[in-house]
Amino acid sequence: MTPQRWQHAFPLLAVLGSVTALGIGTSFAKQLFPQVGPLGTTALRVGLSALVMLALWRPWRWRLSRVDAISVCKYGVALGFMNLLFYMSLRTIPFGVAVAIEFCGPLTVAATSSRRRVDFVWLGLAVLGLGLLLPIDAGTAPLDPVGVVYALSAAICWGAYIVFGQRVGHLHSGQSVALGLTVAAMAVVPFGVWQAGSALLDPYILFFGAGVAVVSSAIPISLEMMALKRLPREAFGVMTSIEPAVAALLGFLLLNEHLNGLQWTAIGSTMLAAAGSAVTARRNLPLCEPAEVVT
pTM of the predicted protein model: 0.87
The span from the CA of 189 to the CA of 47, in Å, is: 7
**Residue pLDDT, tens place only, 201-245:** 999 999 999 999 889 877 887 787 677 667 666 566 667 788 999
The span from the CA of 186 to the CA of 192, in Å, is: 11
The span from the CA of 17 to the CA of 295, in Å, is: 15
pLDDT value of position 287: 43
pLDDT value of position 211: 92
The span from the CA of 34 to the CA of 186, in Å, is: 23
Instruction: Kindly give the parts of the chain with pLDDT less than 70.
Output: 1-8, 114-115, 135-141, 225, 228-229, 231-238, 281-295
Residue 281 burial (C-beta neighbours within 10 Å; 0-12, 13-18, 19+): buried
pLDDT value of position 2: 64
Cβ-contact 275, 125 below 8 angstroms: no
Residue 55 burial (C-beta neighbours within 10 Å; 0-12, 13-18, 19+): exposed
Cβ-contact 267, 245 below 8 angstroms: yes
pLDDT value of position 223: 80
pLDDT value of position 12: 78
User: Which of 112, 110, 105, 116 is closest to 243 using CA atoms?
Assistant: 105
pLDDT value of position 290: 40
pLDDT value of position 196: 95
How many residues does this entry show for the chain? 295
pLDDT value of position 292: 46
